[in-house]
C-alpha cells in the first residue's frame, strides 16, 4: 500500500506534535520574561516572510525557526501578566489543548448525525451557561466565533420574528446606549436595519442607560409610524464595566412587547461569583443573551455564545434544508447547530470549554474571576490614595478608568495630552500594556485586570510605572 505523501506516519506526527507542545509550554511558562508587546513595520517583515509558496516542502525545523524569528516576537502577548489593555484573553492550557483536539479530530459540529459526541458536548456546555446565568429551563443557543457573532445572530433572529409578525424591515428601530459595544450597531447594519434607525439612548453619570429616555424614544418612534423591535442592554460595558438597569428595562420590554437582547460578552461569566450574580441580576430575563467565553472563561479566541429563551426563534430564522443535507435531520431531542446560526461547517468550540471547566472546576474559575475584580479594586485604591490622579470610573468587573490630574496642575495644562503621553510612556517601558478610552470627552487611562497571571504585586508595580511616567512629564 502506498500512502499519500500528505499522510504522515505516527512517529513523525508525535515528533512534530511534541515539538509544538514544547514551544507553547515554554512560551507560557516564561511569558513574564517576554516583552508584553513588540511590533515591527511591515517592510521589515516582508523580507523574511513574503515569499511564494515553495514547490517542494520545507523541513519542519526550518519552518519553526522562521516562526521563531519573524512571527512569534511580534505580537501583543494577551496571556502576559502585564497585559491590561482592551480585554485580555488569557486561556488555560487545557483549553488550548481542547482546540488542538478539536482540530486533530476535525469534528463537524454543524449537524447531529455526523458528530453526536461533540454536539452533545455543546448542548452540555450551553446548559451549564444557561444555569450559571439563571435563564429558564428550555433556553438554548449556540457557540459562535465571538461576541460579535453572537450579537449578529441575535439580531437576525429578532429581525426575523418582527418581520414574520408583519413589520416592515425599513421601519424597524433599535435601541441601545452610547456605551454599547460597536458590534451591536454593526449587527444592526448587517441585519439590514436602516442605519438611521439605530437609537442611542442617554446615560446617567455611571454610564447606564436611562430607562425613561428609552421609553420616550420608543413612544416617539411609534407615534411616527416606525416599528421598534429590539432593545440591547449592556451587562458590563467594555469601556467601564457598567451594567444597564436590567430589571427596569426588562419590565419595559415586556409591557412594550420588545425583544430584549442583553450583551454580557464582557462581564457575563462573573455570574459564577456571588458578587457578579448580584450585580448582573436581571440578565436572566433576556430574550437573547451574548456571552464571550474567550474573555472571562479563559478559553482561546473564537468562542462566543448566544443563549436564547426560545431556541425556536433561532431555527425559525436560520433553518434551511437543501437536498444534499436531507440525511442529516436531527431527531427530536437532538440539535443541528447549523440550524441556529450562519455557519454550516463549524468546529467544536465546546471541546475547549468542556475540557477547561472540567479540569479546574467552577470553584477555581470563579476564584480567578473574583481575584480579577480584587485587582481592579486595589488599583482604584492606589489611584484614590494619590493626590495626582482621579478616578473617572470606579472598579467594575475588573475595569478601572482614571487619569492624572496633578495637584499643582495649572489651568492651561491640557490634561488629555498629558494623559496620552503617560499612556505612551508606560507602554514604551515594555512591562505593561495599558490602553485608553474617552469618557465624556476626557482622555482616560483604562485598565482591565482579567488575566489570571496578573498578581496584586503587578498592580502595585503598574501604578508605580504610571506615577513614574507622570513624574517624567513634570
Ligand atoms: C468584546 C465584546 C463584544 C464583541 O465580542 P468579540 O468576541 O470581540 O467579537 C461585544 N460586546 C461586548 C460588551 C464586548 O465586551
Whether 181 lines ligand 1, by a CB cut-off of 6 Å, is yes
> Which DSSP symbol is given to 431?
S
C-alpha cell, 103: 482540530
Whether 221 lines ligand 1, by a CB cut-off of 6 Å, is no
Whether 285 lines ligand 1, by a CB cut-off of 6 Å, is no
C-alpha cell, 70: 519573524
Distance 242 CA to ligand 1 centre (A): 14
DSSP H stretches of helix in 73-115: 93-105
* Alpha-carbon span 212 to 214, nearest angstrom: 5
Q: What pLDDT does 374 receive?
A: 98
Choice from 239, 267, 290, 397 to test ligand 1 binding pocket (greatest atom count within 8 A of CB): 290
Q: What pLDDT does 353 receive?
A: 98
* Alpha-carbon span 212 to 210, nearest angstrom: 6
Q: What pLDDT does 148 receive?
A: 98
Q: What pLDDT does 326 receive?
A: 77
Give the residue extent of every domain in the chain.
98-360, 363-473
Distance 183 CA to ligand 1 centre (A): 7
Averaged pLDDT, 454-473: 98
**pLDDT-derived band at 45, boundaries 50, 70, 90:** confident
> Which DSSP symbol is given to 391?
E
Residue nearest to atom 3 of ligand 1 (CA): 147
Atom number of ligand 1 nearest to Cα 236: 13
Whether 304 lines ligand 1, by a CB cut-off of 6 Å, is yes
Continuous segment of H or E residues that includes residue 300: none
Q: What pLDDT does 12 receive?
A: 98
Q: What pLDDT does 198 receive?
A: 98
Q: How many CA atoms lie within 13 A of 358 on its CB side?
A: 10
Distance 180 CA to ligand 1 centre (A): 10
Whether 436 lines ligand 1, by a CB cut-off of 6 Å, is no
- Sequence-distant (≥ 6) Cβ neighbours of residue 277 within 8 angstroms: 134, 270, 271
**pLDDT-derived band at 287, boundaries 50, 70, 90:** very high
Q: How far is CA 170 from CA 162, 174, 182, 261, in A?
A: 12, 12, 21, 20
Whether 238 lines ligand 1, by a CB cut-off of 6 Å, is yes
Q: What pLDDT does 43 receive?
A: 85
Continuous segment of H or E residues that includes residue 371: helix 350-385
Question: Residues 249-268: pLDDT tens digits?
Answer: 999 999 999 999 999 999 99
Q: Is the pLDDT of residue 455 over 90?
A: yes
C-alpha cell, 227: 416599528
* Alpha-carbon span 83 to 155, nearest angstrom: 32
> Any idea which fold 363-473 has?
3.90.1150
Q: How far is CA 141 from CA 203, 332, 417, in A?
A: 30, 16, 45
Choice from 78, 183, 190, 306 to test ligand 1 binding pocket (greatest atom count within 8 A of CB): 183
Angle between helices 350-385 and 116-133 (to 10 degrees): 30
Distance 410 CA to ligand 1 centre (A): 39
Nearest residue to 192 via CA among 164, 170, 167, 174: 170
**pLDDT-derived band at 377, boundaries 50, 70, 90:** very high
pTM: 0.97
- Sequence-distant (≥ 6) Cβ neighbours of residue 269 within 8 angstroms: 132, 276, 291, 293, 295, 296, 297, 365, 369
**pLDDT-derived band at 457, boundaries 50, 70, 90:** very high
Across the chain, what does the average pLDDT equal?
96
**pLDDT-derived band at 290, boundaries 50, 70, 90:** very high
Whether 336 lines ligand 1, by a CB cut-off of 6 Å, is no
Of the listed ranges 73-82, 124-133, 314-323, the least confidently predicted one is 314-323
Question: Residues 305-344: pLDDT tens digits?
Answer: 999 999 999 999 999 988 877 777 787 789 999 999 999 9
* Alpha-carbon span 452 to 275, nearest angstrom: 18
Distance 116 CA to ligand 1 centre (A): 29
Distance 330 CA to ligand 1 centre (A): 31
Q: Is the pLDDT of residue 46 over 80?
A: no
* Alpha-carbon span 415 to 419, nearest angstrom: 6
322 contacts 336 by C-beta, under 8 angstroms: no
* Alpha-carbon span 168 to 7, nearest angstrom: 54
Whether 244 lines ligand 1, by a CB cut-off of 6 Å, is no
DSSP notation for 54-76: PSS---HHHHHHHHHHHTTTSS-
> Any idea which fold 98-360 has?
3.40.640
Question: Residues 138-185: pLDDT tens digits?
Answer: 999 999 999 999 999 999 999 999 999 999 999 999 999 999 999 999
Atom number of ligand 1 nearest to Cα 234: 13
Q: Is the pLDDT of residue 54 over 90?
A: yes
Q: Is the pLDDT of residue 279 over 90?
A: yes
Q: What pLDDT does 411 receive?
A: 86
Distance 270 CA to ligand 1 centre (A): 15
**pLDDT-derived band at 204, boundaries 50, 70, 90:** very high
Q: What pLDDT does 330 receive?
A: 80
Q: What pLDDT does 331 receive?
A: 77
Q: How far is CA 159 from CA 103, 256, 269, 318, 340, in A?
A: 34, 16, 27, 12, 14
Nearest residue to 446 via CA among 381, 374, 398, 382: 398
| Percentage of residues of the chain with pLDDT beyond 70 | 100
Choice from 238, 297, 396 to test ligand 1 binding pocket (greatest atom count within 8 A of CB): 238
What phi and psi, each to the nearest 5 degrees, are found at residue 235?
-110, 80
Atom number of ligand 1 nearest to Cα 292: 7
3-state DSSP assignment of residue 441: coil
Averaged pLDDT, 211-219: 98
132 contacts 271 by C-beta, under 8 angstroms: yes
Distance 181 CA to ligand 1 centre (A): 7
Distance 428 CA to ligand 1 centre (A): 27
Amino acid at each position: 500500500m502506498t500512502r499519500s505523501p500528505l499522510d504522515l506516519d505516527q512517529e513523525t506526527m508525535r515528533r512534530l506534535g511534541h515539538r509544538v507542545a514544547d514551544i507553547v509550554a515554554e512560551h507560557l511558562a516564561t511569558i513574564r520574561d517576554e516583552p508584553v508587546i513588540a511590533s515591527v513595520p511591515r517592510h521589515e517583515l516582508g523580507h523574511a516572510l513574503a515569499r511564494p509558496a515553495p514547490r517542494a516542502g520545507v523541513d519542519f525545523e526550518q519552518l519553526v525557526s522562521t516562526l521563531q524569528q519573524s512571527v512569534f516576537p511580534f505580537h501583543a502577548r494577551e496571556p502576559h501578566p502585564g497585559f491590561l489593555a482592551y480585554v485580555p484573553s488569557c486561556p488555560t492550557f487545557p483549553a488550548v489543548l481542547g482546540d488542538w483536539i478539536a482540530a486533530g479530530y476535525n469534528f463537524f459540529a454543524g449537524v447531529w448525525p455526523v458528530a453526536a459526541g461533540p454536539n452533545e458536548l455543546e448542548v452540555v456546555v450551553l446548559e451549564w451557561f444557561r444555569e450559571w446565568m439563571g435563564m429558564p429551563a428550555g433556553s438554548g443557543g449556540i457557540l459562535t466565533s465571538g461576541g460579535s457573532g453572537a450579537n449578529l445572530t441575535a439580531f437576525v433572529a429578532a429581525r426575523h420574528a418582527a418581520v414574520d409578525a408583519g413589520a416592515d424591515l425599513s421601519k424597524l428601530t433599535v435601541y441601545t446606549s452610547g456605551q454599547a459595544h460597536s458590534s451591536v450597531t454593526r449587527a444592526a447594519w448587517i441585519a439590514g436595519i436602516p442605519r438611521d434607525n439605530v437609537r442611542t439612548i442617554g446615560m446617567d453619570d455611571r454610564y447606564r442607560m436611562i430607562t425613561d429616555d428609552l421609553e420616550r424614544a420608543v413612544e416617539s418612534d411609534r407615534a411616527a409610524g416606525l416599528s421598534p423591535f429590539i432593545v440591547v442592554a449592556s451587562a458590563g460595558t467594555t469601556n467601564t464595566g457598567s451594567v444597564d438597569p436590567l430589571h427596569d428595562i426588562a419590565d419595559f420590554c415586556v409591557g412594550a412587547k420588545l425583544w430584549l437582547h442583553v450583551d454580557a460578552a464582557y462581564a457575563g461569566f462573573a455570574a459564577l461569583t456571588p458578587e457578579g450574580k448580584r450585580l448582573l441580576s436581571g440578565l436572566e430575563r433576556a430574550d437573547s443573551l451574548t456571552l464571550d467565553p474567550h474573555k472571562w472563561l479563559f478559553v482561546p479566541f473564537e468562542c462566543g455564545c448566544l443563549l436564547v429563551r426560545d431556541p425556536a426563534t433561532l431555527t425559525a430564522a436560520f433553518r434551511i434544508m437543501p437536498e444534499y443535507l436531507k440525511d442529516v435531520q436531527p431527531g427530536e431531542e437532538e440539535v443541528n447547530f447549523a440550524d441556529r446560526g450562519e455557519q454550516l461547517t463549524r468546529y467544536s468550540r465546546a471541546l475547549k470549554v468542556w475540557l477547561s471547566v472540567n479540569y479546574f472546576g467552577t470553584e477555581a474559575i470563579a476564584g480567578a474571576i473574583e481575584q480579577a475584580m480584587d485587582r481592579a479594586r486595589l488599583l482604584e485604591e492606589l489611584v484614590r490614595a494619590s493626590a495626582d490622579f482621579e478616578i473617572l470610573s470606579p472598579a467594575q468587573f475588573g475595569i478601572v478608568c482614571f487619569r492624572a490630574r496633578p495637584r499643582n496642575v495649572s489651568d492651561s495644562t491640557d490634561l488629555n495630552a498629558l494623559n496620552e503621553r503617560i499612556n505612551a510612556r508606560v507602554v514604551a517601558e515594555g512591562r505593561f500594556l495599558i490602553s485608553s478610552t474617552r469618557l465624556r470627552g476626557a482622555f482616560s487611562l483604562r485598565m482591565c485586570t482579567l488575566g489570571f497571571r496578573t498578581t496584586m504585586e503587578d498592580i502595585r508595580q503598574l501604578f508605580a510605572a504610571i506615577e513614574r511616567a507622570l513624574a517624567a512629564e513634570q
